[in-house]
Amino acid sequence: MCRTRNSMEKLVSLLRTGDSEMGISVTLSSDELAQIKQITQTKSDSEAISRAVREFLRFSQLCQLKAISGRVGYEDRSDQLEALEIRRN
């Protein structure tokens, strides 16, 4: 479910590189656009696409976090830090 098509990954990469807004052209069938508008609950074509892309970005980031979940090492050193703090005071 977290896998994306190569073309969408390229789009995400392009969108992440810039901080400013930009206009692009997207070719969709009328059925696809209608589905996107229904899912995003919008009436405007451009708002529907913008919301869908933002949601795709958010979903992709969640998938990346899920992929690394459990791989990040953590060692509890709170006792050592507390001991250092006590010695300093």
Could you tell me if residue 60 is inside a domain? Answer: yes
Could you tell me if residue 53 is inside a domain? Answer: yes
Q: Does the reported pTM lie above 0.95?
A: no
So what's the pLDDT on residue 37? 95
So what's the pLDDT on residue 10? 57
pLDDT in tens, 39-57: 999 999 999 999 999 999 9
Could you tell me if residue 77 is inside a domain? Answer: no
What would the two tokens of residue 76 be?
Answer: 């509890």
Total tally of structural domains belonging to the chain: 1
Element (H, E) at 7: helix 6-17
Per-residue pLDDT for 38 more than 90? yes
Could you tell me if residue 54 is inside a domain? Answer: yes
Could you tell me if residue 4 is inside a domain? Answer: no
Q: Mapping DSSP to helix (H, G, I), strand (E, B) and coil, where does residue 89 land?
A: coil
Could you tell me if residue 59 is inside a domain? Answer: yes
